[in-house]
Amino acid sequence: MPIEHGKLGSESWLSKWSFNEIVMDFCPSCGNLLLVEHAAVGRSLRFFCPTCPYVFPIERKISNKLQLKQKEVDDVLGGEEAWKNVDRTEAVCPKCTFRQAYFMQIQIRSADEPMSTFYKCCNHNCQFQWREG
């Protein structure tokens, strides 16, 4: 019988776990996420695959920590080089209220939608960036 989220009470085995101990394991047969259920006999637990017959009894604490690295994201605006030869306009910075900003317009949606305008505050102590559209 699978453990249903809405039926977990304070006496539940899962309530004893902290959020940094959440278990995620994958089926070695089909690669789907394994779920946890009470075994048919006793109070033991087991992993089971919801799409194939794979079952793995949980006999002891299983610990395998994997620290995920954040993927480096490219600056879609082109980084600092893209701001070198852009025009200025009168626009109020939402961070420092300076009244001038550099701007560039880029088509980031479909061609039938308006271009998005990106701003960068001209105040050298601020340089806040924001977008309209």
CB 132 within 8 A of CB 119: yes
* Among the listed residues 69, 41, 74, the one whose alpha carbon sits nearest the alpha carbon of residue 57: 41
Q: Is 96 annotated as a binding residue?
A: yes
Amino acid at 61: K
Q: Is 122 annotated as a binding residue?
A: no
Beta-carbon contacts of 43 under 8 Å, excluding residues fewer than 6 positions away, are none
Q: Could you count the other beta carbons within 10 Å of the beta carbon of residue 97? A: 10
Q: How many helices (H) and strands (E) does the chain have?
A: 0, 7
Q: Is 126 annotated as a binding residue?
A: yes
Written as six digits, the tokens of 108 are 């980031």
Output the known binding site.
27, 30, 49, 52, 93, 96, 121, 126
Output the known binding site for Zn(2+).
27, 30, 49, 52, 93, 96, 121, 126
